[in-house]
Amino acid sequence: MQVEIFCDGACSGNPGVGGYGSILRCGETVKEISGAEGDTTNNRMEMSAAIAALDALKRPCQVVVTTDSQYLAKGMTEWLSGWVKRGWVNSKKEPVLNRDLWERLLELSRVHQIRWVWVRGHNGHVENERCDELARAAIDSYRAGSAR
């Protein structure tokens, strides 16, 4: 079974209140997921969008994840194996940021066959634009809930 995942994160302030949105598509079935956190970063929200979508899968799948985050796409395709080999230290010999989320993505990548695709953000990609809307709506909902 092949699943398409589209994901995006947003942050109001960086760090600040953040939100994420994901779309999962398998054939004619489409599911949207979103969420938000307080004091977070844009990169964490980009990663959280992918994690939430991959967590929603009920069994191992072939997955194409489309993101506008070069941090997420390059992290998964170029940097992650080196970080693991070096004991979670980056090329500057500094601890890898967001290690908890990278470790979760690594776990999920062992369950699913994942191909990571980068697209330019805010460039008319329909699903990417929708994910951005979901992320921003999650931020608004979070703020509205916090204001009570």
Q: Give the active site residue among 8, 19, 37, 75.
A: 8
Does 100 belong to an annotated binding site? no
Are the CB atoms for 116 and 67 separated by under 8 Å? yes
Q: Is residue 8 annotated as involved in ligand binding?
A: yes
Distance of CA 80 to the CA centre of its chain: 15
Please give the Cα distance from 99 to 94 (Å, whole number). Answer: 12
* From 18, 19, 21, 132, the catalytic residue: 132
Report the C-alpha gap between 20 and 6 in whole angstroms.
11
The reply to whether 125 belongs to the active site is: no
Order across the sheet with 113-118: list the strands.
29-40, 16-26, 2-13, 62-67, 113-118
9 is catalytic: yes
Q: Of residues 37, 68, 75, 127, which has the active-site annotation?
A: 68
Catalytic residue list contains 8 = yes
Active site residue 132: yes
Catalytic residue among 9, 19, 21, 35: 9
User: Is 140 annotated as contributing to ligand binding?
Assistant: no
Our answer to whether residue 46 is catalytic in this structure is yes
Distance (Å, rounded) from C-alpha 84 to C-alpha 58?
27
- The one catalytic residue among 18, 37, 46, 127: 46
Of 39, 55, 122, 140, the active-site residue reads 122
Residues contributing to the annotated binding site for Mg(2+): 8, 46, 68, 132
**Residues designated catalytic:** 8-9, 46, 68, 122, 132
Residues contributing to the annotated binding site: 8, 46, 68, 132
